[in-house]
Amino acid sequence: EVSELSRRVEARYGFMVHRDADYLTWRFQRGRSRLHRSFGIYDRDGSFKGYVVVQLPRDGELHGFIVDLLAEGEARAAALGAGLAALDKGNASIVHATAVDGSAWADELGSSGFSPAADRNQMKIILHPNQTDHPVTIAARRTARWYFTDGDRDDETM
C-alpha cells in the first residue's frame, strides 16, 4: 500500500525518494537509534491513507522530530496531528522537522505552525550539473517540485 501511495504522490514531484515497505523498514524500523515510531492513517472503512514517522527525544533531550509523512488530501493533516500527538506522549516539548526552502513540505510545515529555520540552521544545497538540459537538472532547479522530508537525510546511517 505504501508503494502504491508513493507512486501516486511521486507523479506530482520532480524529486522524491520512493517509499515502500523495504525502505520504511530499513530507514526507520531497523535504524540504529531505535527512536522512530511509525503510524498508519486509515479511513473508517479500513483503507490505508498514509503514514507519519516520528523520532522520539533522545535521553535527556526535549525535542523530537517529524521525520517522514506520506498521505494525500485530508489524511495529511490527520498524519501530522498523529505525529504531534505521539511526540507529546513521548515527552517531546519541542518538535522539529527539516525541509528544503521553497519546497512543498516547507510550505506545509509553515502553514501548520512550524517556524522557519534560524539562519544558523540553514544548509546550502549546491547544484553542479553536467548536463544543464537533463530532466534531473531541470527538476533540481525547481525546489517547489521537491518532496524531501527529514527522513530522507542519511545522517543517522553514516
Enumerate residues 6+ apart whose C-beta is below 8 A from 36: 28, 29, 53, 54, 55, 56, 67
pLDDT in tens, 113-135: 888 877 766 667 778 888 999 88
- Residues 132/83, Cβ–Cβ less than 8 Å: no
- The CA distance from 129 to 136, in Å, is 9
pLDDT in tens, 75-94: 999 999 999 999 999 999 99
pLDDT at 45: 94
**DSSP secondary structure of 81-137:** HHHHHHHHHTT-SEEE----TTSHHHHHHHHTTPPPPPGGG--------S-TTSHHH
pLDDT in tens, 7-21: 999 888 888 888 999
- The CA distance from 75 to 56, in Å, is 22
pLDDT at 86: 96
Residue 56 has pLDDT above 90, yes or no: yes
Residue 53 has pLDDT above 90, yes or no: yes
- The CA distance from 10 to 74, in Å, is 18
What mean pLDDT do residues 62-86 have?
Answer: 93
